[in-house]
């Protein structure tokens, strides 16, 4: 029996939190006089909190003291946490649960590879924590996506070779990280944006169990 490691990104793949990250970053950027567009937000998806703020300051040609930098990171995170306090299973993206349940039924490894430091509380709120064989999040890595560290750690924890790992991602940085790790990359979202992915689907409703079976076999 083939056992592959399926690695799920969190924000924008399992839950619809990408919109909350966008709102919190937009409000923060605007509060210091920096414009923030949807196109810029795309460049922050999958990118760590620290790196995201560095990029925003770069776009606005601003530099800050360490203290101010950390207080802005805190401010963004507390607004984000406010958005997700009441989060529940209704914010799971369509057919994510069907996909996870099918993979469990097929005796595959189901793991998380997220840049977020808030991943575990979100999995608790959505009742998914138990579904994962391994969880790697922003607290476990030193390098942010597009560095492959987060996905390679998930492979290591399940003792799976990278070429037997399949990554579901909604961000350009995450697809690049999966490709750099030598894994199969599957873009979930806009295929024009995620053009570097090996396969593309708008969402999991388009991704059939028979396609998953093919991935398991080959």
Residues at the site binding ligand B16, with contacts judged by CB under 6 A: 9-12, 21, 44-49, 52, 77, 114-118, 138, 171
Greatest alpha-carbon span in the chain = 57
Options 7, 8, 11, 149; binder of Mg ion; rule CB under 5 A:
11
**Is residue 11 flagged as an active site residue?**
yes
Residue 9 interacts with Mg ion (CB under 5 A)?
Answer: yes
Residue 187 interacts with Mg ion (CB under 5 A)?
Answer: no
Strand-by-strand arrangement of the 184-188 sheet: 134-136, 109-113, 5-8, 165-169, 184-188, 199-201
**Is residue 35 flagged as an active site residue?**
no
What is the SS3 assignment for 166? strand
Cβ count near 152 (within 10 Å): 22
The tokens of 1 are what? Answer: 């029996």
Options 4, 12, 24, 135; binder of Mg ion; rule CB under 5 A:
12
Which region among 8-16, 86-94, 128-136, 191-199 touches Mg ion (by CB under 5 A)? Answer: 8-16
For residue 217, count CB atoms less than 10 angstroms from its CB and return exposed for 0-12, middle for 13-18, buried for 19 or more.
exposed
Residue 189 contact partner, candidates ligand B16, Mg ion, none, CB within 5 to 8 A by sort of partner: none
The DSSP element (H or E) to which 184 belongs, if any, is strand 184-188
- Pick 54 or 95: Cβ nearer ligand B16: 54
Residue 153 contact partner, candidates ligand B16, Mg ion, none, CB within 5 to 8 A by sort of partner: none
- Pick 41 or 158: Cβ nearer Mg ion: 41
Residue 126: asked if its preceding bond is cis (omega within 30°), the reply is no
- Pick 59 or 208: Cβ nearer ligand B16: 59
Residues tagged active-site: 9, 11
Residues that bind Mg ion (CB under 5 A): 9, 11-12, 46, 170-171
């Amino acid at each position: 029996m083939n056992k592959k490691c399926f690695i799920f990104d969190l924000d924008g793949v399992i839950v619809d939190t990408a919109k909350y990250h966008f709102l919190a970053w937009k409000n923060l950027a605007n509060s210091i006089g920096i414009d923030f567009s949807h196109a810029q937000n795309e460049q922050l998806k999958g990118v760590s909190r620290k790196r995201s703020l560095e990029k925003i300051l770069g776009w606005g040609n601003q530099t800050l003291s360490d203290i101010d930098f950390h207080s802005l990171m805190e401010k963004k995170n507390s607004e984000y946490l406010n958005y997700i306090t009441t989060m529940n299973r209704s914010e799971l993206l369509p057919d994510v649960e069907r996909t996870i349940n099918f993979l469990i039924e097929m005796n595959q490894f189901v793991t998380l590879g997220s840049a977020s430091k808030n991943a575990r509380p979100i999995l608790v709120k959505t009742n998914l924590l138990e579904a994962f064989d391994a969880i790697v999040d922003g607290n476990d890595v030193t390098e942010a996506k597009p560095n492959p560290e987060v996905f390679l750690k998930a492979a290591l924890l399940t003792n799976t070779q990278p070429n037997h790992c399949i990554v579901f991602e909604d961000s350009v940085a995450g697809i690049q990280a999966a490709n750099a790790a030598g894994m199969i990359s599957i873009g979930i979202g806009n295929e024009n944006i995620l053009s570097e992915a090996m396969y593309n689907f708008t969402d999991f409703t388009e991704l059939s169990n028979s396609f998953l079976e093919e991935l398991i076999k080959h």
